[in-house]
């Protein structure tokens, strides 16, 4: 599935590297010596982490380990929290996102985010999906219709909502709302999708649907998913990073982490001895 609409390519895919052949795994994000403080609280300590394209990277760890903080730093949403300071570097496609001339809106147009709690706008389903394209200047009704349909199909929710596109998004179930939020995110044709515990508020069946969707989406997007559900990480991710107290304890292929962790603390966590 490719949701690029040709007319819009110029608006959305300024970054040429997005469409390069995908033979070798390329790093999307390179994090170097990232530190982050909430006031005096040192929340992230010397993080070094490379994230590769067209993979699902899971971030696991106990509550308060900094995993959500890290993922929110990747699209600089963390800056909405007052009193946050960072040092170090995060390169997205080779460019430091903390550079003063890197417009945060540009970054967030390429890096979509799905939140823990489904957060549709109090608007119709259609308007929710069309919101992103609209604020980026697309007004043509036909193109909007196309984007909305492709995005909803991409998020595997089209068949459920196609007959009520203009009803309030709040009328959907929690799982549907979350897939709508994913569709809304797809509508701006991002390169990376960040998911912050996207299934923690959902029932098991909705969770399964979202997980299947993640598998489907990774063909076209790089996905970084924070989860406190280790089975989920094991099921859907290619690489897993284990965070503890603001540090990356271990980062490698998911298979290796769950079958043969090299750090004792990782082993203790995934076997359920703490956390």
Binding residues for another protein, rule: CB under 8 A, are 75, 77, 80, 105-109, 112-113, 115, 117, 119-124, 131-132, 134-136, 166-168, 181, 184-185, 188
Answer yes or no: are the C-beta atoms of 152 and 162 closer than 8 Å. Answer: yes
The span from the CA of 172 to the CA of 150, in Å, is 19
> What SS3 class is residue 225?
strand
Answer yes or no: are the C-beta atoms of 3 and 186 closer than 8 Å. Answer: yes
Q: Torsion over CA of 241, 244, 247 and 249, rounded to 10 degrees?
A: -50
The span from the CA of 10 to the CA of 53, in Å, is 21
Answer yes or no: are the C-beta atoms of 1 and 216 closer than 8 Å. Answer: yes
Pairing of the two strands 247-253 and 84-92: unpaired
In angstroms, what CA-CA distances link 24 with 21, 53, 85? 8, 9, 35
> What SS3 class is residue 61?
coil
Rounded (10°) angle between helices 141-154 and 174-186: 130
Instruction: Tally the C-alpha atoms within 13 A of residue 82's C-alpha that lie toward its C-beta.
Output: 0
């Amino acid at each position: 599935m490719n949701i690029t609409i040709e007319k819009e390519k110029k608006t959305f895919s300024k970054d040429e590297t997005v469409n390069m052949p995908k033979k070798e795994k390329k790093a999307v994000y390179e994090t170097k010596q990232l530190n982050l403080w909430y006031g005096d609280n040192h929340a992230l300590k010397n993080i070094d982490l490379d994230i590769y394209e067209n993979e699902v990277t899971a971030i696991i760890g106990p509550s308060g380990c900094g995993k959500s903080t890290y993922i929110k730093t990747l699209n600089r949403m963390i800056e909405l929290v007052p009193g946050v300071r960072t040092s170090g570097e995060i390169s997205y496609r080779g460019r430091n996102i903390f550079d003063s001339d890197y417009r945060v809106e540009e970054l967030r147009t390429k890096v979509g985010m799905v939140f823990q709690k489904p957060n549709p706008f109090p608007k119709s389903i259609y308007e929710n999906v069309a919101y992103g394209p609209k604020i980026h200047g697309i007004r043509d009704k036909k193109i909007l219709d196309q984007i909305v349909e492709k995005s909803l199909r991409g998020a595997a929710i089209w068949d459920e909502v196609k007959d009520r596109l203009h009803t309030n998004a709040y009328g959907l179930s929690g799982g549907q709302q979350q897939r709508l939020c994913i569709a809304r995110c797809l509508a701006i044709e991002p390169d990376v999708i960040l998911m912050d515990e996207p299934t923690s508020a959902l029932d098991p069946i909705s969770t399964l649907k979202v997980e299947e969707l993640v598998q489907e989406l990774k063909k076209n997007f790089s996905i970084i998913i924070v989860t406190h559900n280790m089975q989920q990480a094991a099921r859907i991710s290619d690489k897993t990073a284990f965070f503890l107290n603001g540090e990356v304890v271990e980062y490698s292929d998911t298979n290796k982490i769950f079958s043969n962790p090299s750090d004792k603390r990782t082993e203790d966590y995934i076997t359920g001895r703490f956390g």
